Structure 1
Amino acid sequence: MKIKSKLLWCSSLLLIAILCGQKFLSRFEGFRSSIRKCAPYKPFQFDITFSHRKECLKIVEESQSSDKMHMTSEDTIDEIRLRGYNASSHTLLTKDGYYLTIYRISGGMNSPPRKGKKPVLLFHGFLMTGASWIIQPGSRNLAFTLVDAGYEVWLGNSRGTSPSQKHISLDANKDIDYWNFGSVQLSTIDLPLTIDLILQETSSDKLYYVCHSMSCGALLVGLADVPELNDKIEASFLLAPPSHYGSVYNPAFLLFPPILGTPWQDVWFRLMGGRINGKSGAFRTALGLTTEKVCGWSFMRCGICDNFLFALFGADPEQMDYNNLPNIMRKLMDNGAIKPFLHGLQVDEACAFQRFDYGASKNLLEYGSPKPPLYNMSGISVPIYLFYGENDNLVTPWDAERLRNAMPPDVMRGFHKVEWPKFNHVDFMIAKDADILVYNKIRDIIDEIEADKICYLQQNSSSVCKSEGCAGEK
């Protein structure tokens, strides 16, 4: 009981700090508007709500009384297997000494493993891992939806995340040099290596790429800087792609811009050890509890843990699965390097999809100009299907439109606004109806592309398309 009382007091103080911080941080909004090149999509606010608390408590109590709990495991591979799917892991070594771990889901009850399955690579967002694609219960996950549909699914884990934290000589917990990497390494070293391994293991010439948040930016940089990648991806599906930041109104982005380009930026980098640790270390240190255990109590789920996510990303209580919230908290937050985060802040402030800004003198050495150049998108040829949420405070509708307008016209094949007005940045991973609103549409588009290819082959071999209603027929 003492622990619960302590938790309640700590949580209450946290909420008070958030509410007070809203007024404090809003003062930065005027300052930031004077230096950023684009206006924010909406005024800054911590979007928290208690209107759903009574209903939430009822849902959680009914779930606990009926023993309706979601199946989870500390190990991602074990959890995938417990859910009835065939899973294995592969380890890659990058040319700069980082070990990457990727997960392979080759089949399940509805679609056993076999040769010739088309591979689909799912890549996670910032401060997440491949486990974010199996947060949902049952077949609501995109990973399992695609496996059941006959595809082979691979889950990427970027360098620095818990599954990909080993190095040939550096210790991620001791050596700050381990974290001295940015978007360019993720895009031009890790991504091509991962794609090549998947194509080799599956004997495929191309794969489908589905990304959330940061990994979408990594894809676009990779396609621009490594032209041969364009020949290895059948189509890409970008969920909340952050490449063209500019109208962000997320509180984390509002807090940090004043340190950009100042000595405090390097001080902060060193104080943080080069990384942002989104795991449950703070709770474990203060109370001896992990985040998911803290959020296991009803009173914490309904009003505290949910509002923590709402304050960061926007309130959407109708799409929150309160039974699954402890599992969401465990899988949603992990480790991430600071440099890609700083790069995102720079892009937002400049309102331009530009390379990392090292400062005028170092930019001259790195790029031959005092300002970082823009990424050249003109050579991208991979078909792109973009999904965005109206209530996303990180990748706003304005920024989604700017990306669409920056792409070659024949590349942008789909521009989809999620049909739920409160859909926010993390809803792509955790919303109860993410399968209906997003995932099933991705599966259907992939099915259509595959059917189109079959039809094309039939036309070439017999001059007759035997598949009635082929997606490619006009």
Structure 2
Amino acid sequence: MKNKILMFSTSVLVISLIVNSLIYYCNSLGFGERKCAQYKPSRIDITFSHRNQCLQSVKASQNETTNEWNMNTLEEIETRGYKVSTHTILSKDGYYSTLYRISGGKRSPSNPGKRSILVFHGFAAAAQSWIIQPGSRNLAFTLADASYDVWLANIRGTTASKNHTHLNADTDSAYWDFGIEQVSTLDLPLMVSLILQETGTDKIYYVCHSAGCEIQLAGLVDVPELNDKIEASFYLAPGGFVGSGYNPIFNLLRLIGTPLQQLLLKISGGKMSGEPSALLKFLGLSADNICKWSFTRCGICDNFLFALYGADPEQMDYNNFPNIIKKLQDNGPWRIFFHGVQMVKACEFLRYDFGERRNLLEYGSANPPVYNLSSMTVPTYIFYGEGDNFLTPWDMARMKAAIPKQFVKGFYQVDWPKFNHIDFLIAKDAMFWYITRFGILWMKLNRNGSYKIFSGLTGIPFLKVSVIVYDLV
């Protein structure tokens, strides 16, 4: 069995390298030039520097129990000692979307009057991405312990939100013909209204990663009343402005508008699947199973993530790696992915480009318009990493400039050069960073409606940015 797994995983790595080489070759043909310079040259970032450390770590923890790895999200939340319930919205175009509500736990029992917070995942992810960390290191649980009524979103198409009034997500490609604009205008307002209705609060807080932030930005533009329902937003590696990204996968912008794009959509049914196929499940070859073995976990599976997101072995929790692989990805429509690639090419936070003819019908112009954030009125805090090859410091600076100056309340770079796009979810020190730098754990309004803000540094040398802490009054 070990030989089969080793051959399979090695094949996956080799195929990935070959595909990237082909992409680079296509890139050299000179088609589809980008309007913004890349922050850095694209590269496949792999390393074996921590292989011995990984092997030792896995060996030392091989007897640790990992029952949570095999639980679904609801089961795991309950097992960790939190009260969780399921809530569903139905959009006018027939999509059901599920939210998980963590209303309390041992440290903060369920009580009325708690401040509500909507935690929104990124593209091709789901609510489970917020409970990847072991123990109490998860942001979702830490927020619940800090007396917040926590709501975890699962956007349409994810494993928990695949129902529809008449379309089958597994067999109908039409189900997957949706984009950011549908989620931001049809689903997000319903989610916010549901939370306000269930909790009796007047506003919510919003935390997001990657495309989850892009969804909110688009919603604030197209549904202006949302601005009055959100107290403050906290963006972790926010999407929307991606013009200088240097992730190797962005080289697929060469496929935009070509027959290859249509072929990919047809073969995949419009869906980028994060669920293992029935055959792989039967053979026991799901990604998390493959990566349980130390000889695949250390050097093959980790380098698969490094090749895509950038190598940060110092922050990789190798003991938890199979759980990371299992929970990091879920389903997503190729349309949202190609929308992102369009924005890379155009170097603008623009609406989906359907092509000149349909653009005229949808927008009244041959080119898709940009999202104008000038009317945005939500206090916003932006956090990003220097090592993020999807959303670079240059892109974050452009986002900051696009939001009205008076509503950019914080703009912070993690002081660790390798901190990448997914480190906000999986890094060993992510929760220490949230607790000492995020500020959201202490976020409450004073009685007079004003904020009391403190700035300072802690003794933790890993990260050295100012602390914003809201005084609890």
**Local SS of the residue matching 2:6:** helix
| Residues 187-229 of structure 1 deviation map (CA, whole Å, 9 limit, x = unaligned) | 0011110010011000010011000111110000000110000
Question: Of residues 218, 223, 227 in structure 1, which corresponds to 2:224?
Answer: 227
- Corresponding residue of 2:59: 61
**Local SS of the residue matching 2:446:** helix
| Residues 410-450 of structure 1 deviation map (CA, whole Å, 9 limit, x = unaligned) | 111111101211111111110010012235433x24524x1
- Answer with 179-188 or 266-275: which moved more: 266-275
For residue 456 of structure 1, report the CA deviation from its aligned partner. Answer: 3.9
**Structure 1 CA distance, aligned partners of 2:84 and 2:436?**
22
CA 1:458–1:176: 2 relative to 1, 3 Å: closer
- Corresponding residue of 2:112: 115
Question: Of residues 368, 371, 381 in structure 1, which corresponds to 2:367?
Answer: 371
**Structure 2 CA distance, aligned partners of 1:308 and 1:283?**
22
**Structure 1 CA distance, aligned partners of 2:82 and 2:348?**
42
For residue 351 of structure 1, report the CA deviation from its aligned partner. Answer: 0.2
Structure 1 residue 15 and structure 2 residue 10: aligned? no
Structure 1 residue 246 and structure 2 residue 243: aligned? yes
- The residue identity in structure 2 corresponding to 1:306 is D
- The residue identity in structure 1 corresponding to 2:442 is D
**Structure 2 CA distance, aligned partners of 1:471 and 1:295?**
41
CA contact (8 A) 2:236 2:383 kept: yes
TM-score by length of 2: 0.92
**Structure 1 CA distance, aligned partners of 2:430 and 2:265?**
35
For residue 363 of structure 1, report the CA deviation from its aligned partner. Answer: 0.9
CA contact (8 A) 2:5 2:285 kept: no
**Structure 1 CA distance, aligned partners of 2:168 and 2:17?**
38
CA contact (8 A) 1:127 1:278 kept: yes
**Structure 1 CA distance, aligned partners of 2:55 and 2:135?**
23
- Answer with 91-100 or 115-124: which moved more: 91-100
- The residue identity in structure 2 corresponding to 1:428 is F
- Corresponding residue of 1:271: 267
For residue 282 of structure 1, report the CA deviation from its aligned partner. Answer: 8.2
- Corresponding residue of 1:462: none
TM-score by length of 1: 0.92
**Structure 2 CA distance, aligned partners of 1:86 and 1:209?**
20
- Corresponding residue of 1:175: 172
Gaps of 5+ in 1: 460-469
Written as runs of structure 1 = structure 2, the 5 A alignment for 1:341-380 is 341-380=337-376
**Percent identity between the aligned chains?**
52
Gaps of 5+ in 2: 453-468
Structure 1 residue 156 and structure 2 residue 153: aligned? yes
Structure 1 residue 409 and structure 2 residue 405: aligned? yes
Written as runs of structure 1 = structure 2, the 5 A alignment for 1:288-367 is 288-367=284-363
**Local SS of the residue matching 2:335:** helix
**Structure 1 CA distance, aligned partners of 2:46 and 2:278?**
22
- Corresponding residue of 2:422: 426
Question: Of residues 367, 392, 403 in structure 1, which corresponds to 2:388?
Answer: 392
- Corresponding residue of 2:42: 44
**Structure 2 CA distance, aligned partners of 1:390 and 1:29?**
25
CA contact (8 A) 1:70 1:324 kept: no
CA contact (8 A) 1:179 1:337 kept: yes
- Corresponding residue of 2:459: none
- The residue identity in structure 1 corresponding to 2:286 is T
**Local SS of the residue matching 2:69:** coil
**Structure 1 CA distance, aligned partners of 2:30 and 2:422?**
25
- Corresponding residue of 2:123: 126
Written as runs of structure 1 = structure 2, the 5 A alignment for 1:186-225 is 186-225=183-222
CA contact (8 A) 2:435 2:441 kept: no
- The residue identity in structure 2 corresponding to 1:341 is F
CA 1:285–1:456: 2 relative to 1, 3 Å: closer
- Corresponding residue of 2:446: 453
CA contact (8 A) 2:379 2:409 kept: yes
**Structure 1 CA distance, aligned partners of 2:419 and 2:387?**
5
- Corresponding residue of 1:262: 258
**Local SS of the residue matching 1:310:** helix
- Answer with 34-43 or 423-432: which moved more: 34-43
**Local SS of the residue matching 2:206:** strand
Count of residues in correspondence between the two structures: 456
Which protein is richer in helix relative to its size?
1
CA contact (8 A) 1:274 1:337 kept: yes
Stretches (4+) displaced over 6 A: none
- Corresponding residue of 2:456: none
**Structure 1 CA distance, aligned partners of 2:306 and 2:447?**
45
**Local SS of the residue matching 1:357:** coil
- The residue identity in structure 2 corresponding to 1:86 is K
- Answer with 285-294 or 323-332: which moved more: 285-294
- Answer with 191-200 or 266-275: which moved more: 266-275
CA contact (8 A) 2:95 2:164 kept: yes
CA contact (8 A) 1:29 1:44 kept: no
